[in-house]
């Protein structure tokens, strides 16, 4: 029974690793697109953070794809930047 548990753990680990890599690529692409639109609208990270009542490091981490922010936060960002939320996902 020990070998089956080991194999199951390996399979689950591989599945998790693949999912993590896919999410990471998505988060990085989203962050780059957000940075592009933030700059096009003339906002610094500090200005956006103040308007959102976020810590500036949170904006930086979102733009670098380090953290996965909520859809509520993305909606708030779109509202501050005065862009349709769909624009932030167009990458």
CA torsion, points 12, 13, 19, 25, in degrees to nearest 10? -170
What would the pLDDT profile of 42-73 be if each residue is shown by its tens digit? Answer: 999 999 999 999 999 999 999 999 999 999 99
Please calculate the CA angle 7-9-12 and round it to the nearest 5 degrees.
110
Please tell me the distance from the alpha carbon of residue 20 to that of residue 58, in angstroms, as a whole number: 20
pTM, two decimals, is: 0.75
If you average pLDDT over residues 62-86, what whole number do you get? Answer: 97
CATH code for 24-88? Answer: 1.10.260.40
pLDDT for res 7:
73
* Residue 61 C-beta-side C-alpha neighbours within 13 Å: 9
Domain residue ranges of the chain, discontinuous segments joined by +: 24-88
Please tell me the distance from the alpha carbon of residue 48 to that of residue 43, in angstroms, as a whole number: 6
Please tell me the distance from the alpha carbon of residue 78 to that of residue 87, in angstroms, as a whole number: 8
Please tell me the distance from the alpha carbon of residue 6 to that of residue 45, in angstroms, as a whole number: 46
pLDDT for res 14:
63
What would the pLDDT profile of 24-47 be if each residue is shown by its tens digit? Answer: 999 999 999 999 999 999 999 999
């Amino acid at each position: 029974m020990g070998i089956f548990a080991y194999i199951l753990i390996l399979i689950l680990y591989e599945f998790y690793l693949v999912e993590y890599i896919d999410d990471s690529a998505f988060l990085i692409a989203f962050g780059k697109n957000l940075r592009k639109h933030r700059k096009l609208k003339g906002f610094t990270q500090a200005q956006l953070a103040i308007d959102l009542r976020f810590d500036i490091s949170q904006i930086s981490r979102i733009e670098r794809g380090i953290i996965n922010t909520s859809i509520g936060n993305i909606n708030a960002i779109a509202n501050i930047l005065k862009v349709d939320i769909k624009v932030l996902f167009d990458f």
